[in-house]
Amino acid sequence: MIYLDNNATTRPCAAAVEAAGLAMREAWQNPSSVHRAGQSARALLEMARKSIAELLGAKPREITFVSSGTESIQLAIRGVVHAQPKHDDPPLIVSTKVEHSAIRELLTEMEARGEARVHWLDVDGSGIVKLESVADALALKPAIVSVQWVNNETGVIQPVEQIAAICNSANVLFHCDGTQWVGKETTRLGAGGVNCALLSLSAHKFHGLKGVGCLYVRAGVRLRPQTPGSQELGRRGGTENVPGILAAGAAAREAREWLENTSARDELGALRDEFEAEVLAGCPGSEVNGAGSPRIWNTTSIGFPKLEAEAVLLALSESGVCASAGAACASGSLDPSPVLLAMGVPPVLAHGSVRFSLSRETTRDELQQASTIVIRCVNSLRASTSAAV
């Protein structure tokens, strides 16, 4: 099986699996207990927190462990909004319609419940935020601005450093969804990099285990916990998932070491480009969504006009290739991706768009085999569709 669905999840690295096993065998005690065994588990947990912080260029006390990237986003946005002073009008949240559904659907729900008002920023044909629309939105005095670092469907990179600077100049909090960036590219938070107030990430996107997310909270940011309790500096109650957290720490250490070798990313990016070129040549009329804009090295979204993405994915799966139609958490939907529609992608192309995403383990041989299979499946579906018409 050729696995090209790494934006959905990555295979846990051996170090992460071993760290989780260690926690279950030897460090299974409650890290909040005052006895020596509990404090030994606490020490390992804090070492993992330090490893996550080092991956981000942050301080350990700025890292809060949660259950997922989605919970991290909820804590960031609801936590900031609920910490606002009471006014007649609900607080304003500024974001984009090309965000992951964890943000889009959250904001839609909050607006429907009267918790917040929402203002959507303008984006161009690649889904990149128009910086002038950020400046204009700040005149509305929002409580928080939330923009993703990398689009989970197209791999398009947002100018988050500039967005953070614009927000900071107006004393507005900026939250960045870094789920598809962290562990794949070098991350530097603070004055020397992306000076965001909050950043969300998920360990299973960089070869950790599912069930662990993190929220970076810059010192001084007011945040109301959504699950009250004494754990995680009072930001998030509940006994920590020690096996998952130790695995996240191990995955972060491996990712940091891998990121030191920039040539590895360059080589994988070149393989992604070769894969795209071969598929486009073998499937005339197909298009890469977001092509021409800055994209992360591991992601490509290819639209096959007049085909249904679900049919393509089933054919690929039967032929040994795993991919997704947009976000994996939206699989099963017959509607085209809201992200692609927000970019202005024609529905006939959005309906047939498939996402292929690499990991640092992906090989040239796998991509060469995959391109051959994609071309065969797409052209076979086209032939059968034409015959049916």
Catalytic residue IDs: 329
Q: What is the C-alpha radius of gyration for the chain, rounded to an integer number of angstroms? A: 21
Q: Is 29:44 a contact under the CB 8 Å cutoff?
A: no
Q: Is 60:233 a contact under the CB 8 Å cutoff?
A: no
Beta strands in 203-347 (DSSP E): 213-217, 287-288, 299-303, 321-322
Q: Is 254:184 a contact under the CB 8 Å cutoff?
A: no
The Cα 328–Cα 326 span in angstroms is 6
Angstrom distances, CA of residue 344 to CA of 122, 158, 209, 250: 11, 17, 35, 40
What DSSP designation does 208 have? S
Q: Is 299:7 a contact under the CB 8 Å cutoff?
A: yes
**How many other β-carbons are positioned within 10 Å of the β-carbon of residue 83?**
15
Greatest Cα-to-Cα distance within the chain, rounded to the nearest angstrom: 73
**How many other β-carbons are positioned within 10 Å of the β-carbon of residue 96?**
25
Closest CA to 28 of 177, 203, 239, 210: 239
Tokens of 126: 């690649």
Closest CA to 130 of 342, 363, 354, 382: 342
With H, G, I as helix, E, B as strand and everything else as coil, classify residue 117: strand
The Cα 202–Cα 332 span in angstroms is 23
